[in-house]
Amino acid sequence: MDDDGVDECPAFVLHDHRRPTPHLDLRLEEGGVLRSWALPRGLPQERGQRRLAVAVPDHDLDHLGYEDESKTVADTGWWEEHSRDERRLVLTLHGRGGPRRYALVRTARDWLLLLTREQPQAAP
């Protein structure tokens, strides 16, 4: 807990990365680093859509606000974990547009990112 008695929530950032080809990078704060996935086709917008998520090397925490000529912050906020095992991580991203729940599912080669059936209610 911090000095105000509020738990620190882990951060996330979604980078709009324009090189080498346009894609998004999802970065989740965990264990002092940003675990990262490249999303060649972006975030799933509807249930049933599956988006390839390619694990890339962890990034330093200073990438939370990092921007340059080829990379801008598309969304940022905090994330919460709902469940995890060696093949699946269910999480909610609490970003600028409200909360969205996803599942990262490990395949034989990479990961898939899916929008879950149950979605959190946005705060009034």
**How confident is the model over 55-69, as pLDDT tens digits?**
999 999 999 999 999
**How confident is the model over 11-40, as pLDDT tens digits?**
999 999 998 899 999 999 999 999 999 999
| Nearest Cα residue to 99 out of 72, 77, 82 | 77
Is the predicted pLDDT of residue 5 greater than 80, yes or no?
no
Is the predicted pLDDT of residue 6 greater than 60, yes or no?
no
Tell me phi and psi for residue 61, to 5 degrees.
-60, -20
pTM equals 0.89
